[in-house]
């Protein structure tokens, strides 16, 4: 699933090509539905201009001159493509100047929908701040996490607390912070949480710098893969020798059904956890 770095890459690229573009027509493929309806697309999308591109955590938002928004969450297999397409395109926007914007997905978990201001505000209120772009302060992070009785890896993935962090970047940040993924969040010291926040920002910024991690279907809007997967610290490295202690071998286990990687030498689970 694209996480915050991948969404930021997509957003930044779209900012360079979409504002000022007029939507001339919309086409769907394989009977893919337009939500909330085709009539909404016809009324609030057709012949409108894209005035702004932004993101709210993992949600990509195109603000339209009609006052409505095109909102897309890519979930596990979604892509937004500009002037390129693949066999899984479900919705296409045809723009002035001959440009095209495509929403592609294999599964129907993601969405590309028309939202009004009320729905966008409701979505925003349900999610936490992001750890990038001066949104979440270290003191807020410490206050939020220190109250949680769940394991720290699950707390990091709770989008109502902090939005945008997914499994890959949570694993790597915990490794750099020498915190076992199953440590109870409320047992961590303020010093540990401060280090963890710093490392979260580091790995997320690293992901943006390397234009995202292409583990599954993720590509940028031009159909090009990112390279962050070549820079993972611990994710996907089961059996490898730890790059920190040079002794432990990376172990793998499932925590709440999600693949979790850690070094048993560097990331020791406290006995009270």
DSSP annotation of 35 reads B
The one catalytic residue among 2, 63, 178, 211: 2
2 is catalytic: yes
The one catalytic residue among 11, 75, 119, 258: 258
CA dist., res. 76 & res. 51, Å (int):
28
The one catalytic residue among 21, 58, 90, 178: 58
The one catalytic residue among 3, 90, 181, 182: 3
258 is catalytic: yes
Please enumerate in sequence order all residues whose Cβ is within 8 A of that of 243, keeping only pairs 6 or more positions apart, or say none: 233
Do residues 261 and 234 touch, judged by C-beta distance below 8 A?
A: yes
Residue 121 CB neighbours (<10 A): 11
211 is catalytic: no
Query: How many CA atoms lie within 13 Å of 137's alpha carbon, on the beta-carbon side?
Result: 3
Instruction: Please name the residue ranges forming H helices in 50-166.
Output: 117-126, 138-145, 152-157
33 is catalytic: no
CA angle 267, 271, 272 (to 5 degrees): 115
Residue 164 CB neighbours (<10 A): 28
CA dist., res. 26 & res. 95, Å (int):
9
Residues recognised as catalytic: 2-3, 58, 258
């Amino acid at each position: 699933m694209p996480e915050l770095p991948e969404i930021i890459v997509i957003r930044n690229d779209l900012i360079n090509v979409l504002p000022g573009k007029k939507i001339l027509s919309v086409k769907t493929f394989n009977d893919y539905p337009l939500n909330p309806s085709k009539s909404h697309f016809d009324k609030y999308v057709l012949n409108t201009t894209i005035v702004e591109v932004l993101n709210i955590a993992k949600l990509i938002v195109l603000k339209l001159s009609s006052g409505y928004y095109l909102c897309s969450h890519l979930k596990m297999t979604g892509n937004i493509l500009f002037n390129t397409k693949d066999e899984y395109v479900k919705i296409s926007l045809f723009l002035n100047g001959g440009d095209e914007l495509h929403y592609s997905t294999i599964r129907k978990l993601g969405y590309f929908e028309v939202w009004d201001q009320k729905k966008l505000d409701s979505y925003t209120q349900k999610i936490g701040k992001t750890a990038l772009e001066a949104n979440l302060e270290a003191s807020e992070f410490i206050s939020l996490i220190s109250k949680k009785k769940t394991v720290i890896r699950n707390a990091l993935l709770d989008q109502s607390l902090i939005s945008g962090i997914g499994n890959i970047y949570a694993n790597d940040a915990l490794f750099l912070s020498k915190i076992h993924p199953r440590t109870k969040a409320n047992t961590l010291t303020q010093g540990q949480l401060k280090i963890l926040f710093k490392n979260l920002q580091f790995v997320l910024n690293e992901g943006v710098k390397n234009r995202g991690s292409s583990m599954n279907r993720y590509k940028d809007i031009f159909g090009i893969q990112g390279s962050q997967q070549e820079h993972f610290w611990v994710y996907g490295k089961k059996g490898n020798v730890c790059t920190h202690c040079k002794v432990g071998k990376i172990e793998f286990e499932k925590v709440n059904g999600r693949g979790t990687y850690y070094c048993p030498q560097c990331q020791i689970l406290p006995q009270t956890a």
